[in-house]
């Protein structure tokens, strides 16, 4: 599992900053709550005496009016003496804290008016003067008929209005109002305010940092998406697979590998722009066929895609149906190369229905790739499902450990197939072909070996073993020439290069040992590989480009590495008698090779008719079952 650094993935920092923001918000809420609790306690202590005095005065006023037959407000209007007495009593209530004491009523129109005011003469309100209330809570007293405290907050003190109802016939007739203030405890207030301001400042800083993080995260996700997305097809690329393969739950998917058939012929015939268009349209078909948010599509490289189809309720048939629909939709689609012309494209698909039985994604992928290999060998344009029982029990399959044992026990051998001079029909070269003799004496072919060890060090060891076998054969037989196959990684492997350098020190070895390289995207784009091929040519080795025309043909590339021979892909040769495009492709390759002074070898020459046509087109050499089958013989 990869170590994830916060600095590389800002998403994790966002969670931390959010947590810090929540903590400080809770602290701010706590200080506000604390200030309210302190204020409430101060009100309770400071208002006790005032409330008691106010209630007593209200009771006294009520008693003085109880004998009246009129409304209390009317009685006070008509009785100046009583009103003056009440005002004198109210004035006695005024202190440094109690600012106002007054008696009011609400007239028929709902307007509050003064009846008595305990203020000084120059400040006293006159009888029936309108009183404007500044808080709707004044009206509550007429509904509740209970005393009411209204708080007015200021910075250094609390201003409070205490209202006492005076009832007549259980209705509020008058309201005694006392306005007083309470000084806050200034030191506590300062500390609480400082804490609040500090927390608010921190919260704003954190929010600012969070905004920056969000911006950074969006950029990060955009870059990540770009890094994980194949620019041509819009699906995931190999980077995505490398970063996530350890986290893919193989219990939830079936694994399929899809390869576009004869894609190299499309590139060579119509150009790379059309090839890119075919790739893009194929990806669109796959994307439109799979289930959104369930299945995963990855362009693995070149024309190969990996599809992870999600299993629903332990039913892998539903996932397999997705793969089958992809196969049919591609078959039924017309791929336009211009406004008028179109071609039909087919694909080969290998499926691993039980990837969860493998120890890792890589192992599961190799089994799907093995099935893909089988699909190609059976003529392409089909779906092949990996058969665990078949591959374990048949005589033609080996495990990785068995292949390792075969190398150690010298069970790796070479069969040789003749390469015939088209003019003289005599043997010019032998191609060394990998074989393994298993413990039961059965012969295991490369297609049952190479997919299993693909991407492992065992592949390098197999190459070194074949090199040593061919070297020994060349020393034994002084008059023959042998070709052997190298993969692109062999060309940049120091141990294999050193082995070839050592062989070249011996006279008449490198000139008789041909190196066959399957052209690939990796080889085309790797400067080190090109440089090493030129170095090997300088040592006397002949360079053969194998399966030319099968996928990545680049005629300029042939001149860059100055190859001596090209071997035209056998799948194209096998269709040359009935397929016009194959015929034109072979003809163009031969014509170009002659101009570039490169010799041409035709593969899969399995009949006299094909051989005669090849000679007519001017091919230099031929190889196929028409001449011989690979055999373990002493040449």
Q: What is the 3-state secondary structure (H, E, C) of 511-572?
A: HHEEEEEECCHHHHHCHHHHHHHHHHHHCCCEEEEEEECCCCCCHHHHHHHCCCEEEECHHH
From the list 87, 173, 303, 431, the catalytic residue is 303
CA–CA separation, 207 and 211 (whole Å):
6
Contact 588, 622 (CB under 8 A): no
CA–CA separation, 280 and 615 (whole Å):
38
DSSP 332-400: T-EEESSSS-EEE--EEEEEES-GGGSSSHHHHHHHHHHHHHHHHHTTSSSEEE--HHHHHHSTT---H
Contact 28, 203 (CB under 8 A): yes
Q: Collect all residues with Cβ–Cβ distance below 8 Å to 497 and sequence separation of at least 6.
A: 491, 532, 536
Could you tell me the two tokens for 157? Answer: 């003190």
Query: What are the phi and psi torsion angles at 487 (to 5°)?
Result: -95, 165
Torsion angle of the four alpha carbons 457, 461, 464, 466, in this order, in degrees rounded to the nearest 10:
-130
What is residue 169's three-state secondary structure? coil
CA–CA separation, 112 and 132 (whole Å):
7
Tokens 């590998």 sit on residue:
257
Contact 265, 589 (CB under 8 A): no
In 3-state terms, the chain is what percent helix, strand and coil (to 5)? 50, 20, 30
Tokens 């000139």 sit on residue:
511
Query: What are the phi and psi torsion angles at 417 (to 5°)?
Result: -120, 140
Contact 416, 633 (CB under 8 A): yes
Separation of CA 90 from chain center: 78
State the pairing for strand pair 412-421/621-622: antiparallel
Is 294 labeled as catalytic in the residue annotation?
Answer: no
Name the residues annotated as catalytic.
303
């Amino acid at each position: 599992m990869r170590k994830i650094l916060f600095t590389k993935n800002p998403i994790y920092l966002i969670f931390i900053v959010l947590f810090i923001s929540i903590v400080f918000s809770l602290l701010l809420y706590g200080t506000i709550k604390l200030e309210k609790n302190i204020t409430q306690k101060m009100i309770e202590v400071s208002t006790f005496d005032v409330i008691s005095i106010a209630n007593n005065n209200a009771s006294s006023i009520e008693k003085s009016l109880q004998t009246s037959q009129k409304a209390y407000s009317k009685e006070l209007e008509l009785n100046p003496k009583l009103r003056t007495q009440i005002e004198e009593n109210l004035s006695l209530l005024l202190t440094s804290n109690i600012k106002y004491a007054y008696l009011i009523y609400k007239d028929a129109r709902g307007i509050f008016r003064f009846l008595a005011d305990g203020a000084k003469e120059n400040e006293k309100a006159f009888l029936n003067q309108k009183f404007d209330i500044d808080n709707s809570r004044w009206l509550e007293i007429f509904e509740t008929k209970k005393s009411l405290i209204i708080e007015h907050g200021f910075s250094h003190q609390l201003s409070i209005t205490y209202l006492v109802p005076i009832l007549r016939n259980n209705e509020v007739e008058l309201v005694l109002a006392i306005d007083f203030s309470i000084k806050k405890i200034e030191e506590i207030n300062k500390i609480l305010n400082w804490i609040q301001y500090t927390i608010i400042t921190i919260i704003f800083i954190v929010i600012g940092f969070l905004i920056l993080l969000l911006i950074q995260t969006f950029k990060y996700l955009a870059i990540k998406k770009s890094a994980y997305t194949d620019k041509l097809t819009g699906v995931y690329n190999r980077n995505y697979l490398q970063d996530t393969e350890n986290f893919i739950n193989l219990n939830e998917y079936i694994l399929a590998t899809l390869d576009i058939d004869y894609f190299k012929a499309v590139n060579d015939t119509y150009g790379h722009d059309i090839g890119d268009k075919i790739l893009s349209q194929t990806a669109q078909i796959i994307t439109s066929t799979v289930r959104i948010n369930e299945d995963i599509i990855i362009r693995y490289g070149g024309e190969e895609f990996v599809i992870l189809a999600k299993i629903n309720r332990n039913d892998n048939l539903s996932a397999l149906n997705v793969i089958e629909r992809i196969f049919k939709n591609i078959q039924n689609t017309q791929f336009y190369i211009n406004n008028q012309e179109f071609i039909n494209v087919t694909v080969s698909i290998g499926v691993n229905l039980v990837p969860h039985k493998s120890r890792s994604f890589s192992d599961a992928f190799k089994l799907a790739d093995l099935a893909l290999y089988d699909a190609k060998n059976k003529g392409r344009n089909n779906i092949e499902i990996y058969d665990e029982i078949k591959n374990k029990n048949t005589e033609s399959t080996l495990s990785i450990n068995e292949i390792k044992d075969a190398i150690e026990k010298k069970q790796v051998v070479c069969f040789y197939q003749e390469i015939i001079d088209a003019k003289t029909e005599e043997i010019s070269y032998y191609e060394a072909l990998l074989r393994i003799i298993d413990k039961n004496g059965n012969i295991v072919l490369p297609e049952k070996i190479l997919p299993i060890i693909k991407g492992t060090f065992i592949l390098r060891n197999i190459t070194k073993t074949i090199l040593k076998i061919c070297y020994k054969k060349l020393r034994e037989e002084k008059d023959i020439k042998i070709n052997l196959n190298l993969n692109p990684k062999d060309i940049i492997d120091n141990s294999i290069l050193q082995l070839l350098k050592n062989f070249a020190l011996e006279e008449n070895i490198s000139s008789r040992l041909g190196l066959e390289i399957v052209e690939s995207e990796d080889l085309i784009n790797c400067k080190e590989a090109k440089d090493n091929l030129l170095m090997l040519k300088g040592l006397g080795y002949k360079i053969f480009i194998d399966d030319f025309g099968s996928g990545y043909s680049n005629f300029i590339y042939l001149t860059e590495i100055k190859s001596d021979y090209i071997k035209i892909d056998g799948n194209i040769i096998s269709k040359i008698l009935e397929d016009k495009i194959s015929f034109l492709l072979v003809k163009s390759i031969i014509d170009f090779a002659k101009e570039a002074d490169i010799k041409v070898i035709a593969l899969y020459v399995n009949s006299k008719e094909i051989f005669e046509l090849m000679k007519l087109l001017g091919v230099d050499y031929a190889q196929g079952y028409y001449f011989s089958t690979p055999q373990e013989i002493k040449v």
